[in-house]
A and B are shown apart, each in its own frame.
Chain A
């Protein structure tokens, strides 16, 4: 596996991976994505409850991958992108 390459540029720009800019505050709609791991629903149920208590103006929307073993199907990604401002993914049991 390739782990290092030589920089082909003039090296005046630092190499970095950009994280998506973090918001100042929660607002809008949060996608809660269950990846079909056992008890992901329990975790997300509790998280949803806490979000509604502590961030009353925020809406939540639930999504679920059909299988844990494969990446999310494109329609789910598209729906999250279109309908939601944030996503919280319940990754593992």
Chain B
């Protein structure tokens, strides 16, 4: 609560009243639907009458329409000021009415109180008389008839909805351009027409909503979060918040959304390529750590979609940031040949309790107590793996291998592939004592086929170029086994979903995962505390195969 030093409000007759007036003044802020205000307004009127011209008593009313009501109800003659816009209430930051400030003739605030405390009010009344030049005189107030104490009421400027509106309008936190709508505009049609949406309706980003969204992070609204390709536009926390509102996010998702934007815009993840590629890739977010439960993410039934607000909105917010700030628009720099529904949002949490292994985040070097989001670029899937018969790790890994061997096409090697195991499938590996690496090794063995079967042919044009044979020693290399995957670390294993049945999901990486590396952020209140690309993911090495090999470096297993 800050005693105001200067303000201007209109009185009941529309006359502008400049504060401070000359001489001492008693200023009160009240509202009509407050019993304590109604108890005390006659007391203020008594001070006004008893001090005569020696002291001004001004009462600011928090609603314009209440001024005539209070005037009539209490037969008031003191000036009643219109604080309907709550400018004065906001500046003084009062949270209770009535609130009183007593100023001496030099405009120093010497006494203040809120609610009704008879002792304090009596002191203020007595001091008012002194300041009015009548020291020792009592007011006409019958103090004996008044209660000792009455609590005040909540000030209107702190009412839910009003507080946020005032903060949004007056705090100076928001600097984005305001877009005016005509009264005849349908907000949803307008936003679609402006190209702001991903095709679905969005929540209109009003100043109030954006300000509330910003309360979800400790970060300054004007902090630059990242440079967003393809337009290489700087994105501030405020712009993230606007797009988060549109995506349907809650304020508590903000740290995760900021972290994802920061992660996506690293060279390691390469959102530019992910969203520009004709292959139609998209960022897939996987969350680990306590944040999953804290913000209500889903890692049980339907974890991969749909129906959970956090899962859906966080991924959608990232996409909207890329669209609206980065300028990634289908047909523009987004050149996806076909796209897919997972490009709207693809974001889930790992079911860590149901996993027999360390979580993905722990595998990538984080602590189990860290809040971590890992982004992967995926263009294939989600595709279902059904196996209700396997009872041991070998059988289950064989099923995975059989399914994964034909990803993209049976000949082409892949790099990153995300395997989202259901708890039932993961449990089979757990009971068999299989580690993640056991599963990966088995998949590498099972998917290995002779080099000659990975070559392009007239019967099937996809596959490795014939020139690769010379590179690996000529004709004798033709029968050497080549696994589907560049390296076992490219088989990314996580657990999500509920123990409903024995179905799992695979998602293929973009261009085999070559140009975008799984990249993780440790999340703090302001976004990413640190960002790490997956260790061992050496993009330059992967590209060393040269143009003839395309993106791939076949992993030939020599005996």
Contacts and interface: CB of A to CB of B under 8 A. Distances in A.
Contact of B176 (A2, A3, A11): A11
B497 to A, nearest CB: 33
Interface in B180-226: 180-181, 183, 187, 191, 193-194, 196, 204-207, 210
Interface string B230-249: 01011100110011001000
User: Dominant SS at the B interface?
Assistant: mixed
A10 to B, nearest CB: 4
- Chain B: number of interface residues, binned into ranges: 20 to 34
Interface string A1-12: 111111111111
Contacts of A2: 181, 187, 204, 206
Given A2-B181, A2-B187, A15-B194, A7 B242 contact: yes
Nearest to B234: A10
A4 B246 contact: no
Interface residues of A, number: 14
Contact of A8 (B178, B196, B207, B228): B196
B112 to A, nearest CB: 36
B183 to A, nearest CB: 7
Contacts of B325: 8-10
Interface in B299-345: 320, 324-325, 327
B460 interface: no
Contacts of A9: 196, 324-325
A12 B325 CA distance: 10
A18 to B, nearest CB: 9
Nearest to B187: A2
B109 interface: no
Interface centre among A10, A11, A12 (most CB of B within 10 A): A10
A6 B233 contact: no
Given A11-B176, A12-B233, A15-B194, A6 B210 contact: yes
Interface of B: 174, 176-181, 183, 187, 191, 193-194, 196, 204-207, 210, 228, 231, 233-235, 238-239, 242-243, 246, 320, 324-325, 327
Interface of A: 1-12, 15, 17
12 contacts: A1-B183, A4-B180, A4-B181, A5-B191, A5-B206, A6-B242, A7-B176, A8-B196, A8-B205, A8-B320, A10-B324, A12-B231
